[in-house]
Structure 1
Amino acid sequence: MSERSEDQELAARAATGDESAFRLLYRAHVRPVYWIAHSILNSAVDAEDVTQETFVTAWRKLPDLQLAGESILPWLATICRFQSANRLRQKRRDQLHTTDAADETLADTVNVEDQVITAALADRIAKEIGTLSALDQDIFRLCASEGYAYEAAAAELGVSHAVVRNRLSRVRTRMRGAVEEVRDA
């Protein structure tokens, strides 16, 4: 019998209604999902809304999920892209009803090439996070995903403020490098 990944275990538990398992999936993947939405929508407010809609949809659809790989992130990225496309269409409809001139900054459709890049970006970010030490993953999760201040993360992890600040700086540099690799490809 093959060993299941943590995402697979958490998804299976969440599919049965285990809210704590779903909360762990959320914490592990909220930032990559947010950045996917932000890259499509170019709006922090819309990206936050779409991120929440993505996880609400995921919660409803988990019982039917047949997880192909070890990570749930590609599935979440697909949901996020659909939610983002829906948001763009809704903004376009709203705009047509509220103004005479269309805003040229809103795309009529979501570019397929952008969707492929976004999926590749999500995969690359997930892989890069997987290569981090346990402490760096915890620091990234607390500060980048859960919004902890450096001091709060340091207290939670039992390390100094400087350790959190320095390690998070290195992690962010690695993540920027990973993003650049995908964008340059």
Structure 2
Amino acid sequence: MPATMQDREWAARAASGDQDAFRAIYREHVRPVYWIAHGILGSASDAEDVVQETFVVAWRKLPGFELLGDSLLPWLATICRFQAANRLRRVRRDRANTTDAMDETLPATVSVEDQVITASLADLIMAEVDRLDEIDREIFRLCAVDGYAYEAAAAELGVSHAVVRNRLSRVRSRLRGAVKEVRDA
């Protein structure tokens, strides 16, 4: 059963208090949530804290949550972005209230323009992914989104390591080309 199909079952069981189901959700989505947090915060330790906060919030909210799609990842990503924004505000406030010099590596604000550009690129990438054939979409999901190694993805899909490596390389080239076209335009 594909992981996204399992999300619905796991969410229902976790909402009823099943800790094993919640552990499965955590294992399935911790990597992409971490990279979202790291991309916003730029700090591994802050990203790890935000990941933990994200899953604590998810655990609390699951009993009243209704999964509309097949995957919990968009919901978890939203929680993660809110937690990361809260962390940025807290860090800036704490640093402003100390006598130490302000860390200039933290952005003063979260740029709406950058968020729009990032969202547009994400939409473009998802549209390109949707145009891929089924095996390429699954390889992309397993390796690029879920963080599977080539060998693990090959075992999951019943294909060879070389098939996963070669197809993922072509998919990444295609996505880079689409992004480059948009940036050049």
Task: Rate the CA distance shift 1:90–1:181 in 2: closer, same or farther, 3 A.
Answer: farther
Q: 144-153 vs 161-170, which deviates more?
A: 144-153
Letter of the structure 2 residue corresponding to residue 42 of structure 1: G
For residues 23 and 181 of structure 2, the distance between their equivalents in structure 1, rounded to whole angstroms, comes to: 31
For residues 149 and 99 of structure 2, the distance between their equivalents in structure 1, rounded to whole angstroms, comes to: 41
For residues 15 and 90 of structure 2, the distance between their equivalents in structure 1, rounded to whole angstroms, comes to: 30
Task: Rate the CA distance shift 1:150–1:135 in 2: closer, same or farther, 3 A.
Answer: same
What is the CA-CA distance between 1:93 and the residue it aligns to? 4.4
Task: Rate the CA distance shift 1:137–1:149 in 2: closer, same or farther, 3 A.
Answer: same
For residues 179 and 25 of structure 1, the distance between their equivalents in structure 2, rounded to whole angstroms, comes to: 30
CA contact (8 A) 2:121 2:179 kept: yes
Aligned residue-pair number: 180
Q: Percent identity?
A: 69
Aligned Cα RMSD in Å?
A: 4.0
1:164 aligns with 2:156: no
CA contact (8 A) 1:125 1:179 kept: yes
Number of the residue aligned with 1:14:
14
Number of the residue aligned with 1:27:
28
What is the CA-CA distance between 1:67 and the residue it aligns to? 4.3
Q: How does 1:145-184 map to 2 (within 5 A)?
A: 145-176=145-176
Greater RCO (Cα-Cα under 8 Å, separation 6 or more): 1
For residues 120 and 29 of structure 1, the distance between their equivalents in structure 2, rounded to whole angstroms, comes to: 24
What is the CA-CA distance between 1:103 and the residue it aligns to? 1.6
For residues 180 and 85 of structure 1, the distance between their equivalents in structure 2, rounded to whole angstroms, comes to: 29
For residues 31 and 101 of structure 2, the distance between their equivalents in structure 1, rounded to whole angstroms, comes to: 35
What is the CA-CA distance between 1:61 and the residue it aligns to? 0.8
- Gapped runs of 5+ residues in structure 2? none
Letter of the structure 1 residue corresponding to residue 41 of structure 2: L
Task: Rate the CA distance shift 1:158–1:73 in 2: closer, same or farther, 3 A.
Answer: closer
Q: 88-97 vs 117-126, which deviates more?
A: 117-126
What is the CA-CA distance between 1:20 and the residue it aligns to? 3.1
CA contact (8 A) 1:73 1:122 kept: no
